[in-house]
Amino acid sequence: MNPATERQQVLKVTRILGLDPGLRRTGWGVLEASGNRLRHLGHGVVASADKDRLSERLLQIHRGLAAIIAEWRPDVAAVEETFVNRNPVSTLKLGQVRGVVMLAPALAGLDVHEYAPNMVKKSVAGSGHAEKAQIRAMVHRLLPGIAFPGSDAADALAIAICHAHNAQTRVHWPLTAAAGSRSTAAAKAIAKAKAEIAAQTAAQTATRAKISAKAGAKSAGRGFRSVAR
């Protein structure tokens, strides 16, 4: 691929719809990705009524997503994969919701990509075991100035960011020098943010370890005194 063609592919604007399946609240988020740049367009949730039958709730989710797709006209959709829950009934229901969530964009002619939760976390926060608070903090940093009604929309945007990252990896991520100094600055900002989150996580882990060690020492001391009596 010649440099001009590569540059055109890298700088192509792609509108991504991220979807976080849930029976009560399915989160959605729309952003545009152009090279290493992200632009937030919208986010929210599609809720279903708890009192309604499962079939009716699935229909509510499908209609809500169809309306969102018609309004925002994304180019591609990204959905988080289902993890196995301890409750088999909940797992089954989530699987049914996820089927509806994948069907809606597929019926609209969109490619639907699936990402494991650990991949989403690693793409956004740099760690496959990052906590939800870290994910939200990183989404805020990458898409500044937006407020979330809850974690569902933030998770959906994280899934969209994950797809943007992986899509750009297929065309040489981070961008080559031909993409300009702005891309380099953006890449450095993302790397710095991930380093800060990693440092915060390490500090929290160290603090928890100290607390556990102190608690263990106190327990040992009490046990010694009881024997002495």
81 is catalytic: no
Are 79 and 159 within 8 A, CB to CB? yes
Q: Is there a catalytic annotation at residue 111? A: no
Report d(CA 61, CA 43) in Å as an integer.
Answer: 15
SS (H, E, C) 25-67: EEEEEEEEEECCEEEEEEEEEEECCCCCCHHHHHHHHHHHHHH
Residue 163, classed as helix, strand or coil, is helix
Q: Of 81, 152, 155, 196, which one is the catalytic site residue? A: 152
- From 56, 75, 80, 155, the catalytic residue: 80
Order of all β-strands in the sheet with 111-115? 37-47, 25-34, 13-20, 76-80, 111-115
Amino acid at 138: M
Residues near 80 by beta carbon (within 8 Å), at least 6 away in sequence: 19, 20, 21, 114, 115, 116, 117, 120, 155, 159
Check if 152 is active-site: yes
Could you give the residue numbers annotated as active site? 20, 80, 152
